[in-house]
Structure 1
Amino acid sequence: MMTKKEAAAEIRAAKVRLGLTWAGLAEAVGRPVSWTTAALLGQHPMSKDEAEAAAEVLELGPEVVVALQLQPMRGALETVVPTDPTIYRFYEVLQVYGPTIKELIHEQFGDGIMSAINFRLDVRREADPAGDRVVVTLDGKFLPYQW
């Protein structure tokens, strides 16, 4: 049986080979681009219909369809401290701003956390005269601690 990691490698190769975009794949699957990208990279299970739609567009076989439906082992980093420069920048942001984010959440919402399960993600480009900006929105439901 193909693993989700193996399926993700085939998906990325097919995406490049066919000149597809994550946005185009999301449209074919009928889900948001950030969710679809995460699912195709192995971080969410897809329904049979979603997996079949993706595999059809990517021209991939039934073993990929099955792998996409498997329950994932979430967390895709190979090392505790990420070494990929793009991913490391987010690690660095949390090292510097993590305590601030925590303080502001507690001050504005009370004792609790931001959900990573009831969660939305958006990445977009914003034009700026000093150089285009990467805007990342992390949108999670507040979950109060219950004692």
Structure 2
Amino acid sequence: MINRSEAAQAVLAARARRAVTWQELADVMGRPPVWATAALLGSHPLTSAEAKTAGALLDLEPSVVEALQLPPVRDTGRSGSSPVDPTVHRFHEVIGLYGPALRELIHEQFGDGIMSAVDFRLDMRRVTDPAGDRVVIVLDGKFLAYRW
């Protein structure tokens, strides 16, 4: 069996080879695009049905489909250190888990470039929810295309 990292590489190669978008994968899996992209890159396990559906669209080997269902190793300490403050730590955790998926989606939807942190707006609000209030954070940065 292959590991999650190898499965993610197989997904990236198959997606490029077959010209399938992350949105198309999310749609056939019935999941939001950020979650689906993160899962296919190794941050979340897929159900058997989700893995088989993605595998069929990408024409993945059975070993890749099987690996996509394994529990992930959520390595959020990529920067080498983790902040002590619990709230700041959670932001690092979110970016560690979803950063690669967001990068892929930005490149797919905008092209080769980045989200500006200079021409940038940030909003945070509380949303009342019967299951527990929610923190809604919006990161709004201008897209900056790489120019050579």
* TM-align CA RMSD: 4.2
Distance in 2 (alpha carbons) for counterparts of 1:135 and 1:28:
33
Residue-by-residue CA offset, 1:28-73 (whole Å, 9 max, x unaligned): 1110000000000000000000000000000111101110100011
Query: TM-score w.r.t. structure 1 length?
Result: 0.56
Distance in 2 (alpha carbons) for counterparts of 1:20 and 1:138:
34
What is the aligned-residue identity percentage?
Answer: 35
Structure 1: segments with no counterpart, 5+ residues: 82-94, 104-112, 127-131, 143-147
> Which 4+ stretches in 1 moved above 2 angstroms?
76-81, 113-116, 120-126, 132-142
Query: TM-score w.r.t. structure 2 length?
Result: 0.56
Q: Which has the larger radius of gyration?
A: 1
Structure 2 SS opposite 1:69: coil
Alignment size in residue pairs = 107
Taking structure 1 as reference, are residues 78 and 36 closer, same or farther at Cα in structure 2, changes over 3 Å only?
Answer: same
Structure 2: segments with no counterpart, 5+ residues: 111-115, 126-132, 136-148
Distance in 2 (alpha carbons) for counterparts of 1:52 and 1:137:
38
Bigger relative contact order (CA 8 A; separation at least 6): 2
